[in-house]
Amino acid sequence: MSGNILKFKKKDIILAAAVIAVATLCAVLTPLLSRKGEFAVITVSGQEYGRYDLNENRTITVTTDLGTNEVTIEDGKVYVSYADCPQEICARHRPVSSDGESIICVPHELVITIASNSDEGEVDAVTG
């Protein structure tokens, strides 16, 4: 059974080191290159519910026929602090603050998107 011992070749080690280096570089550069958002846009069932400045700490309660979510803005980040949907996936999502990031509550048809003033007027969908 001693013949089954794994033997790594020099090229295998170089490849593994290169993959680890690239992954580390991506993990470090992604947060540094992402643009900080200025406000959170909350939509429910495709309709804009409101826009909220990320510099103002607050909690917004969104109650519809589909359910209730509490959206909290704190220290420039947004997160769902409460949801009465069955799985509460949105409430377990990490806080978001970078331009273009989103949190979605599918059962309540609620979407929180981080945006900035420079985004206004840009087309967000492909139309044909």
pTM of the predicted model, to two decimals?
0.68
Of 56 and 123, the structure prediction assigns the larger pLDDT to 56
Token code pair at residue 49? 């519910």
Tell me the DSSP string of 44-107. ETTEEEEEEETTS-EEEEEEETTEEEEEEEETTEEEEEEE-SSS-HHHHSPPB-BTT-EEEETT
Q: What is the pLDDT of residues 91-100, one digit of tens each?
A: 999 999 998 8
